[in-house]
Structure 1
Amino acid sequence: MRALLVRIMPQVALMAGLGLGAVMTFAVYSAEERRLEAEFERSADLAVDLITSRLEQHVVVLRAAKGLFAASRGKVARDEFLRFIEAVDIVGDLSGVQGVGFARAFPPDQGAGARAEIAAQYGVDVEIRPETDQPWRVPIVLLEPDNPRNMNALGYDMYVEPVRRAAMDRALATGEPQMSGPVMLVQETEVDRQTGFLVYLAYGGRSAGAGGGLSAQVGFVYAPFRGGDLIRAALSGAHGTQPGMRIMDEAMPDLPIHADPVVGEGGPDLSRRVDVLGRTWRFDLWQTGTVPWHRHLGSLLVGLVSILFAATAALAISARQEEAGQARELAAAAKRESEYRGLLLQEMKHRIKNHIARIQSIARQSARGASDVKAFTTAFDSRLQAMAAVQEILAGTLSAQADLGEILRKELQQCLDTAAVDHLMAGPPVVLDERQAHAFAMVAHELVTNAMKYGGLSGEGGRLRVNWQLDPPETAGAAPVVALDWVERFPGPSEAPAPAPAATAIAGGGFGSRLIEASLKGELSGTISRDFSADGLHIRIRFAMNPDLVPKVAARPEERRRRRR
């Protein structure tokens, strides 16, 4: 359990850091969202205030126009009215309104008087329209500026239409500016049609007679508005992104005064109700566009710092664990090194004894086949050189690769002639890496030494045969397996029992046999089996090749000798 906790500690630290970071990031993000909502609410309220303020400015203009008519006793010449319009600059500073006009009340049978007044002001003869069933007519007799849209409105009787009539009656009754419900202005054409409304301010006295208080002394200073134009003019000076909006008269919601074409999705929405000039408007507002990424810079930075902190903590713990693991590995390596040094000391003692025995055996073998001292010296010297060559392989002073047959050949040449050695061996080229060559050289050395002491090379009549081959790998994708058979036939009568030391060495109980097994199992990851009988010994050795050396084929010994020559 403790090992499991130690192993997963970096992951736990990473997840804990990420969890804490996620909580902090969410908190900062929530605060940013609340701030954005508050900013949007302030922006929406500012837009509503700008629109209502623009309407109030136009009401001031209407009151000034009423004052002009009062000063002129209801008779204002067009030139004088134009100077007034230019002075208040409704086209520039007070844009958003179609114009400022005057509508005078007439009995239905006195339409000629209205036509005459229009003709006197504008030099055109227009019909008073449309037909009416009301006791009074209130046609437009003055409207500036005189653009084509406004000229089309001259002579129009606004008292015919119920929505306009209701606003005019309220203005007459209250004496205050009153706004109509949403209508289509008579100035509208087929191009860029907009919903509009009108603001009326009554001028003149009221009558108690029929007609809702109208009399021949009554008129209305009024201003027609197009909804979209008013909103754009009111918000033109505002900074930043403006909210989308829909403006409706709550008494007539089916005809919006203004509606932006795109409705925001996912942003904060809110509504505002405003009482303005006798009507109640509802503003539905929403966020337009996307929120810039830098508006969430705080949560982004907190998230990045949290990720970096969690990753750093996990890496730090992992590094400490790796350092602890390396310390344990170093301790284990030191222990193995100490054990290996002890093994080397024993092996050195053992090899010294073996070298003496080998030199003695080489001397006997050389003396047995020599006819004189010179022949003995030559044979003895060549076998000592072969023994030194094997020691060079074991010491790693040659190349990092060696051929298995060459190692065996050099070992056997210490006690046999070259021609005899070639007849004893048979097998394909097998390339060993440096580690495998060291290990196999020690194995071959011990096998040859035991054979010279006790087995097939220990006297006359002994025989030795070494065969090897490459078997298919035991598992798919693995390297081929080297299978070597070492077969000895003992000299002398088969019934003669081997001496106790010889029996121990052959059966695998001596130090040399233990060294063979250590080399095979530890360095070659291989196996060894011995079949011992009175007639001889059969040793089977198996180990896998280095996968990186499988495609390579070592040169045959004959080819190497030819290249050396």
Structure 2
Amino acid sequence: MRKFFPTIAFVAVALASLVLAGFAYFAAREAARIKFEAAADDAVGRIESRLDLHTSLLRATEAFFSARTGGVSRAEFDKFYQTLDVDGNFAGLLSLGYLKLIRPGGEAAARDEIRSNYGIDPAFPLADGLEWHAPITLIEPHDGESQRYLGYDVAIDSVSRAAMEQAMADGALHASGRRMLDPLPDAKGEAKSAVPGFVIFARLGVDGVPAGQDAVAKTKGFLYAAFRARDLFEVALGKAPQLPVNLEVYDQSIDLGNLLYRSEISPVHGYGLKTMRMIEVAGRPWAVVLRPTAAFTEPSSPFVPVVLGLFGLLLAGTIAMIARYQERAFDAATRLHETTEKSLMEKDLMLQEMRHRIKNSIARVLAIARQTAAHSADLKEFSSSFSARLQSMAASQDMLTRSRRQQADLGDLLRIELGQVFGKDLPDGLLSGPQVLLDETTTQALGLTFHELATNALKYGEAGSSVGALRVDWSVDGQGRERMLALNWIEAGKLNLEAPAKTGFGTKPIDMNITRELRGTIEREFREDGLQVKIRIPHSN
């Protein structure tokens, strides 16, 4: 437990600091959201106030027309319009006018009314198949540009007609959907493309109509007010203080085809703040999408949570370091004691391993000496054979000593043993087989076996005159614990080779090494063209 205390202390303090930083971050986010929501509410409130002012204009016009049951002349309507101070009070208003409701065949009365008021004889582009029509008979402002709309049948526009039908049904104000209105002139006075807008309609009823009549019979006509959306919204949002919000206003649903207005100042998306409000304009819903602009500032610095988090991590690291130093000081004596005991144990193990290997080596040397002496005719032959076998044993041990894993490569072992007998310049193609790593026991046993086979080949086979008559190949078969190392020793070149009548010394250690020590098998096949020795031993590496 003491070992993990610095880590536990660091994690605990760091988590506490991160939790505090997280709370600070979310508090800052919430404060920013609340501030932005307040700015959004302010923007929507300004828009609704401006729209209420414009609808009150239409209600005032409706009251003016209702008070003059005999009809309103152009002069009266012009005087009424001039008193409104539209440019100063109703920015965005494109035109204000009256639509006379007529049934098919009633065009003459509407034409006479326009001729009487404006002195022009307009064309009536009335559409066929409509139950009623609504041509413009009064319009303000009535300059030459606007007078060209006199006589235009607004009822042929399906969107406007739907709003007028709703006004006939309930007598309330109703706004049309998004309409593309007359283009605004640029700085040079040249017209640009049409701009989005909308039209609000108010129904004028007919007095004294008997009950049971349809809505058309009860309707004298409609008052309308057409608005350019951009002018209206810019006036509504232009008063001080300027709001740091970007607006997109859509008719009914958020769709590019329904876009009424979009702020020219681009939004900033990095705050992750966005809200939507639904407002109702003369019975028609609008969707207002609001985002912050670059002028929006957060109520608190966004770096406060970062500073808190970094300070907490620094504090956690300091505490962990202090705890770590104390733990290291406490463990210093323990580690020294453990190191001393470990060194003594390793020394004992090394001595035991050395005694074991020396004992095994002495036993092997004594066995070789006894067998060599039993089959040697004189001291000279004994000395030569015994020295060669000791060199073979030493070569195998040297390979193991140079290997970090106490393993020897089979191919390298064969090259060393054959090199001691035939010389270092061995021909190509003498050895073939994959890389096979041998453990200590297998290396010692096979080293002596290869030495005896090579010595016999040198003494008795045709390979004595040319090592090219010798071939050695090997492979590994099977999987897991059933893997077997298969080695073939082939001596060619001597004809009519027969098995010896008496087993020599070299044969006995070979058989003992393979069958007893390595638990394998060895087969000798004396063929007409030479000798083949097949060795099979288990191989688990």
Query: Which protein is bigger by CA-based radius of gyration?
Result: 1
Query: Relative contact order: is structure 1 or structure 2 higher (C-alpha 8 Å, sep ≥ 6)?
Result: 2
